[in-house]
Chains A and B, each alone.
Chain A
Amino acid sequence: MDSNKKYWKGLEELNQTPAFVQSSKGEFSESIPVEDVLNEEGLSTKTPRRDFLKVLGFGLGAVSLAACQNTPVHKAVPYLIKPEEVTPGVPNYYASSFNGQSVLVRTREGRPILVEANPNSVGLTQGTESATVASVLDLYDMTNKLQNPQIGGRDVEWAKLDAKVTEALNKSVQAGKRVAIVSRTINSPTSLAAIAEFTNKYPGTIHVQLDPISYAGIRAANEASFGQAVVPSYNFEQAQVVLSVGADFLGTWLDGEQHTQDYIKNRNYKSLEAGRMSRHIQFETGLSMTGTNADVRIAIKPSEEAGVLISLYNEITGSSLAGGIQQANAATAIKLAAQELLKNRGQAVVVAGSNDVNIQTLTNAINSAIGAYGTTIDLVNYSKKHQGSESDFASLLGMANAGQIGAAILWNSNPVYDYYDSAAVKQALAKIDFTVSFSDRADETASELKAIAPASTFLESWGDESAKVGYYTIVQPTINPVFNTRQAEVSLLTWAGNNTDIYTYVRNIWESQILPGSTKNWTDILQTGFEYKGNTTGTSATFAGNVSAAATAASTAAQSIKAGDDFELSLYQPANIRDGRYANNAYLQELPDPVSKVTWDNYIALNPKDAERLGFGEKSTATVKAGDLEIELPVLAQPGQALGTASVALGYGRTKVGKAGNSVGVNAFPFAQVKAGTIQFVNKVAISKASRIYELAQTQTHHTIEGRNIIRETTFTKFLQNPASEAGKFSDDHKTYDLWNKFEQPGHKWVMAIDLNACTGCGSCIVACNVENNIPVVGRDEVRRRREMHWLRIDRYYTIEEGGKGYTKEDDIANLASYENVSVVHQPMMCQHCEHAPCETVCPVLATVHSSEGLNHMAYNRCFGTRYCANNCPYKVRRFNWFNYWNDSRFDNYLNNEFTQLVLNPDVTTRSRGVMEKCSMCIQRIQAGKLHAKMEGRKVQDGEIQMACSSACSANAMIFGDANDPNSEVSKALRSERIYYVLEEINVQPNVGYMTKVRNTFEA
């Protein structure tokens, strides 16, 4: 059954612009510049006899050299004393933690090469965020990180630095001035103990925490509402109805991946089989990743957030606060949503993304009214990951300006870049007598300071984290410090005069503070990686805030950003490089944004109608002005963006982060404003056309599927009536014919099932695939040329729904009013390992052939680059190496030196120029898993072998396994009635099945 809904990847495709048509046609016929060689000039040149003789001579020389048979001398240098746990060729795993998540670090011959979730821990146990997987690359960042401590920009010995710092600290104390430690949120018991010890030694030390993306508004609101200044833990697993006002809670808001894991449990194939599916309503400005997953999404302006919450509060409690939203569409949705929320009391949650205290107080009031506290919101086991306070920092700046600060230590903090008022920070820092940073590189702030004491990465340090109350995770080193760095805690302790080695120090803290009363001892902790002693149940809390005051204040605040003719600007954290701290990670820069699919840049997103009105076409740039601030940004017409609004990503435009991240995009932090003590990421801007022409490296229309019907989507109501609804199984009513002989697959048959309802589009899988399979980063220019190498891509398809009707025809679409109401489907696409693979039959040298286990093999050393296979692949998943990316100075962002090459997975060949590659279904993992089973003389167990992508997926959207085992999870999943195969009608018999997207919409 064919759906007649029109899906499109980008406006170029929807409007069939000439550039799009041309490039999609010539996608695989990029020709070799034969004309340049064979033009008149090329032909008229004579080959002089001398040249001929030269060539002849070279040929003879080459032949005789080859004939000499000189065996290349490879040295083999064994350990002198081999560590007992190391067997060369066998990976070791160490439990550690990153961003509060317990992780396993895989090392080979002492080099960390991959970070994966710790499946036996608490919280996020399946999958990681993209930054976690990519973090191994930062370890080997040779060109941009400091290799020695520095004073005044010159390398010094640690002893000299320590002497200088202690002298300055003592001077400061003697002068009666205070020492300040400025950091991001610190929840590590060890770090806090080190700070306490330091404070003891230098009395009057103040510790200020500043997070670039602040949640101070939530803490302040919770203090007002419940007397607890904390950021609660959200329990989306309990939530059957989720309403979000501007919170990208599956992506960047608080613990996005943990929320994803929990939220998807109410929406994935298991839940659907049980006949349950949660409902998700999203009100937001720009189209966020969370918004793309919502069942109902209403585009609103930032100034309308307060109105939405006031109306919702009124609907739920029956009160009549002034300032509700006027927009009819939103009002209807709110009415329906209120009913839903009330119906699911105790199983519902409302979240708001704003950092405004009043907005959060309103949210608290609503949550209290729908019984969220103690069920979906946990104030007891609250999160300890976000304790930054802008007001503390502002008062510190005041003290510094008044000359009260004698020394400042910056720890993991870069306010010159990520504080909205960079000039004020610089001015205050200059007033401090001595400043030192623990930054691993001379970044925007560190380069302004007197000294840098470079800290090691988490992969080289001992430590711990405590992401929420009662949850402790250990950080243990997996390698000796690569450079002459020292972890920050050691520096602080040294300056405090404590010379205990850090291992003993951490162990003492665990044994004295954390382990008493636990069943685990220190060795258990090193093995398991965590200790959890939180309360299992939260208790409900009574709301004691002042709703009407909050509503009035929120409405007033909204008035101040109402823009009239101007645009309301919403600043957001991008899913890949976040607040800019990962800006130098080439893996993350090249990870396409989940929604816009733009790489290596930020841009101003406008509604296509607004863009048209202002005269922006493709490759336009805009001047964005707010007061004295003025920046120039490329324009992106973004379907789903609310009319009259603009969105810009933070985290870009860094100047001193390193080769990969410098001058990528424009810094938007200055547009943030502090209001009522908390930082607000909204503003009012004037937008005008700029003259520059700039092409964004956007992958959305690459590998276009050219309008073929490959997305199957249904609604929950239809699904309940017929689970196979809209799955459109082709084989049901068509007879198929085979050109090829049937062949037996008696051993394994490796297959995958992908749940389109679970995939949120976050892209962790892409980064994990890159790291596992040594996939090169190609850089912005090559992405523009459609040459990104990602084996796995996530195709994002838009479809328009307006007024309850799905738009199907081009004429309808042309008459659209706003492009505000788009819905989105994410589809991970990689080699489908077709049983009748079209690529295999066209390869002239049999470099790609089928295996008896159902895999499509690719022998790189056999391939000589005709690219016929890519041309013949209906899924467009084959990638061609146009260059030797790992050894070419033009691709100097990554892999071009002996250090970053250490990140390579030694079990996977690096491919050379002129060779085709594609998803191998992590064949190295399959082979290793099989060998493991054979060595133990048993069968392979289900779930024992995991793909890099599936193990990075916190939504468990990708299920891999053996179809010959009828009890494997993938076999069960593939028996689901929602399963369909992409382009099944061409009978290539793919081994990857997809499950229909199900949307739990209102009108259905």
Chain B
Amino acid sequence: MIVIVSVLVVVVVGVSILLSRVAKTLEKVIDTNKESIDVATAEYAARGSKFGQFAKAFVRNKKLVFFAVLMIVALLGVVGWKTGWNVGVHQGYQPVQPIKFSHQIHAGVNQIECQYCHGGAFKSKNASIPSANVCMNCHNTITAGEHYDNDSGISPEIAKLYRAVDWDPETRTYGNDTRPIEWIRIHNLPDFAYFNHSQHVVVAGVECQTCHGPIESMEEVYQYSPLTMKWCIDCHRETSVNTDNEYYDQLIEAHDKLKKGEKMTAAMIGGLECGKCHY
């Protein structure tokens, strides 16, 4: 970020230096060719170009030039600042996935529990994308063919799943020519930030939707939250610790002694310390 901002500043300074040099050179040129310019100017004036007159007046007016440069610098600065802060923030990122899987149908219409497919979120740091055998638990019978008017009677998207696991719906057998599904990852935390799903889902009892948004109504999944450190910190500052856990007894006792009645947030028990996420 700092790098980009400083590059911007360098660029702006560079541009202004360049402009002033251009102005100087022009002045020199004017000085050396004064006579012919005068003649030309006279001719030009005789022609009466409005734009030419304006340009001339503009270049002659040093204050105006300075002001214009200042404006350009300010504009670039603002644009740079805004872009700078958003580098690496991919809120709203919605890549095209190899299979048009719809959370709206599965989690919304059919009300399948999140952890049926994303069991990792309850056990591990990774929520994990379900392996294809989990899909096949249902899709060995559900082909959704009724929505499609094709010969096979199988949804073309489900056919992709069958292709991946080499399942022949006719003979109902698996083959050996499997091809793993290459999903495009939507939520990318930087490598130096450690995040653990189970801590948030199991221990803190945070709803999936808190971070992932209205996932049950998403036809195609997009990144709902900015996933910036500011966003993490804000939540840690506001969220109370789920104290229904013997682990926290000691901390609650200490907290009650110090701040009677106030809620105990994650931040108060060290949830903002660097080493909790960066190691």
Q: Is B274 an interface residue (CB 8 A)?
A: yes
Residue of A nearest to B5 (CB): A63
Chain A interface extent, by class: 35 or more
Chain B residues whose C-beta falls within 8 Å of the C-beta of A557 in the assembled complex: none
**Contact present for B199 and A62 (CB under 8 Å):** no
**B44-52, B83-91, B145-153, B231-239: which lies at the interface:** B83-91
With a CB–CB cut-off of 8 A, which chain A residues contact B8?
A: 63
Asked if B120 and A744 sit within 8 Å, CB to CB, the answer is no
- Does the CB pair A76–B14 fall under 8 Å? no
Residues of B113-159 whose CB lies within 8 A of A: 119-120, 123-126, 128-134
Q: Are B124 and A849 in contact (CB under 8 A)?
A: no
Binds B, one of A2-10, A112-120, A641-649, A933-941: A933-941
8 Å CB contact of A852 from B180, B249, B270: B270
A74 to B10, CA, bound (A): 33
Known: A80-B131, A939-B246, A939-B247. A89 touches B126 (CB 8 A): yes
CB atoms of A69 and B278 under 8 A apart: no
Cα A817 to Cα B217 with chains together (Å): 87
Q: Which residue of A lies closest to B193 (CB)?
A: A861
Knowing A69-B86, A78-B180 are in contact, say whether A87-B124 is a contact too (CB < 8 A): yes
Instruction: Name the A residues within 8 Å of B133 (CB-CB).
Output: 79-82
B4 touches A860 (CB 8 A): no
B128 touches A940 (CB 8 A): no
Name the interface residues of B215-256: CB closer than 8 Å to any CB of A.
245-247, 249-251, 253-255
Of chain B, the residue at the smallest CB distance from A938 is B246
The reply to whether A73 and B196 form a contact with Cβ atoms under 8 Å apart is no
Which residues from A are CB-within-8-Å of B120?
87-89
A69 touches B90 (CB 8 A): yes
**Given A56-B11, A71-B188, A78-B181, A88 and B247 contact (CB-CB distance below 8 Å):** no
The CA-CA distance from A939 to B253 in the complex, in Å, is: 14
Answer whether residue A509 sits at the interface, using C-beta atoms and an 8 A cutoff: no
| CB nearest to B79 among chain A residues | A67
The answer to whether A849 and B7 touch (CB under 8 A), given A73-B95, A89-B124, A90-B123, is no
Check if B55 is an interface residue, CB within 8 A of chain A: no
Q: Which of A928-977 contact B (CB under 8 A)?
A: 930-931, 933-935, 937-940, 964
Q: Are A747 and B181 in contact (CB under 8 A)?
A: no
B203 CB-CB contact with A under 8 Å: yes
Query: Is A564 an interface residue when CB atoms closer than 8 A count as contact?
Result: no
Q: Is the CB of B83 within 8 A of A67?
A: yes
B48 to chain A, nearest CB (A): 37
Q: Would B279 and A908 count as touching, CB distance under 8 A?
A: yes
Q: Does A426 lie at the interface of the complex (its beta carbon under 8 Å from any beta carbon of B)?
A: no
Decide: A934 and B247 in contact? CB cutoff 8 A: yes
Taken together as a complex, chains A and B put the C-alpha atoms of A87 and B188 apart, in Å, by 20
Q: Which of B14, B126, B130, B183 is A59 in contact with, Cβ under 8 Å? A: B14
Closest A residue by C-beta to B98: A75
Q: Known: A56-B11, A76-B183, A909-B278. Is A88-B95 also a contact (CB below 8 A)?
A: no
A201 at interface by CB-CB < 8 Å: no
Bound-state CA distance A912–B119 (Å) is: 34
State A860–B275 Cα separation when bound (angstroms).
10
Closest to B132 in A: A80
B125, B193, B199 interface centre (most CB from chain A within 10 Å): B125
**Across-interface contacts of A937 in B (CB, < 8 A):** 245-247
B242 to chain A minimum Cβ distance, whole angstroms, is: 9
Does B39 have its Cβ within 8 Å of any Cβ on chain A? no
Across the interface, do A747 and B87 meet the contact criterion of CB distance under 8 Å? no
In the complex, are the beta carbons of A63 and B80 less than 8 A apart? yes
Report whether A59 and B275 are in contact in the complex, using a CB–CB cutoff of 8 Å.
no
CA A908 – CA B278 in complex, angstroms? 9
Contact status B183-A78, CB under 8 Å = yes
Contact of B128 among A62, A72, A88, A857 (CB under 8 A): A88
Contact B124 A88 (CB under 8 A): yes
Would you give the shortest CB distance from A698 to chain B, in whole angstroms?
31
Q: A715 at the A/B interface (Cβ < 8 Å)?
A: no
What's the nearest-Cβ distance from chain B to residue A936, in Å? 8
- The interface residues of chain A lying within 8 Å CB-to-CB of B10 are 59
Complex Cα distance A60/B79, Å?
A: 13
- Residue of A at shortest CB range from B87? A66
A861 and B270 in contact (CB under 8 A), knowing A71-B93, A76-B184? no
Contact A56 B250 (CB under 8 A): no
Among A131-139, A566-574, A919-927, which stretch is in contact with chain B? A919-927
Q: Which residues of A contact B7 (CB under 8 A)?
A: 59, 62-63
Specify which chain A residues have a CB less than 8 angstroms from the CB of B165 in the assembled complex. Answer: 80-81
Residues of B close to A924: CB separation below 8 A: 194, 279
Q: How far is the CA of A852 from the CA of B267 in the complex (A)?
A: 11
- Closest residue of A by beta carbon distance from B270: A852
A862 close to B (CB within 8 Å): yes
- Residue among A63, A71, A857, A930 making CB contact with B90, cutoff 8 Å: A71
Judged by a CB distance under 8 angstroms, whether A18 is at the interface is no
Asked whether, in the complex, the Cβ of B131 is within 8 Å of the Cβ of A81, the reply is: yes
B178 part of interface (Cβ distance < 8 Å): yes
Which residue of chain A has its CB nearest to the CB of B199?
Answer: A931
Within 48-63 of A, Cβ neighbours of B (below 8 Å) are at 52, 56, 59-60, 62-63
**Would you call A851 an interface residue if the criterion is a C-beta within 8 Å of the partner chain's C-beta atoms?**
yes
- Interface: A853 (CB within 8 A): yes
Give A539 Cβ to nearest chain B Cβ, in Å. Answer: 52
Which B66-117 residues have a C-beta within 8 angstroms of A? 80, 83, 86-87, 90, 93, 95
Which residue on chain A has the smallest CB distance to residue B128? A88
- Which residues of chain A have C-beta atoms less than 8 A from B181's C-beta? 77-78
A907 CB-CB contact with B under 8 Å: yes
A87-B275 in contact (CB<8A): no
Q: Which one of A73, A909, A934, A935 contacts B192 once the chains associate, using CB atoms below 8 Å?
A: A909
Q: Is the CB of B183 within 8 A of A747?
A: no
Report which of B182, B203, B254 forms a contact with A934, defined as CB distance below 8 A. B203
Selected contact of B184 from candidates A67, A75, A78, A933, CB within 8 Å: A75
How far does the alpha carbon of A228 sit from the alpha carbon of B164 in the complex, in Å?
64
Complex Cα distance, B250 from A852, in Å, reads: 14
Contacts of A59 in B (CB 8 A): 7, 10-11, 14
- Expressed in whole angstroms, the minimum distance between the Cβ of A876 and any Cβ of chain B is 21
CB < 8 Å: which of A52, A744, A855, A931 contacts B198? A931
- In the bound complex, residues from chain B placing their C-beta under 8 Å from that of A60 are 11
- Establish whether residues B180 and A860, one from each chain, have CB atoms under 8 Å apart when the complex forms: no
**A77 and B279 in contact, given A89-B125, A849-B274, A934-B245 (Cβ under 8 angstroms):** no
A729-748: CB near B (< 8 Å → 1, else 0) gives: 00000000000000010110
Q: Which residue of A lies closest to B119 (CB)?
A: A87
B164 in contact with A80 (CB, 8 Å): yes
- Min CB–CB distance A678 → chain B (angstroms): 52
User: How far does the alpha carbon of A335 sit from the alpha carbon of B239 in the complex, in Å?
Assistant: 74
**Minimum distance in angstroms from A789 CB to a CB of chain B:** 16
- How far does the alpha carbon of A938 sit from the alpha carbon of B18 in the complex, in Å? 68
In the complex formed, the residue of B with least CB distance to A912 is B192
What residues of chain A lie closer than 8 Å to B249, measured between beta carbons? 939
Name A75's contact: one of B80, B183, B198, B199 (CB within 8 Å): B183
Chain A residue at smallest Cβ distance from B82: A67
Give complex CA distance A88, B86 in Å.
31
Assess whether B63 is interfacial by the CB under 8 Å rule. Answer: no
Whose C-beta in chain A lies nearest to the C-beta of B14?
A56
Q: A77 vs B129: C-alpha distance in the bound complex, in angstroms?
A: 8
Contact B202 A77 (CB under 8 A): no
Query: Is B60 among interface residues, defined by CB-CB distance under 8 A?
Result: no
A-B CB contact pairs (8 Å), 13 listed: A52-B14, A56-B18, A66-B87, A71-B90, A78-B181, A79-B131, A79-B133, A82-B133, A847-B274, A858-B279, A860-B192, A923-B275, A934-B247
Give 6 A-B pairs besides A747-B270, A849-B274, A931-B196 with Cβ atoms closer than 8 angstroms. Answer: A63-B11, A78-B183, A87-B124, A852-B273, A861-B192, A934-B202
Where the two chains meet, the residues of B that have a C-beta atom closer than 8 Å to any C-beta of A are 4, 7-8, 10-11, 14, 18, 80, 83, 86-87, 90, 93, 95, 119-120, 123-126, 128-134, 164-165, 178, 180-185, 188, 190-194, 196, 198-199, 202-203, 245-247, 249-251, 253-255, 258, 269-270, 273-276, 278-279
Instruction: Give me the 6 closest cross-chain CB pairs, A-B, nearest first.
Output: A746-B254, A857-B275, A89-B124, A82-B131, A79-B131, A859-B274
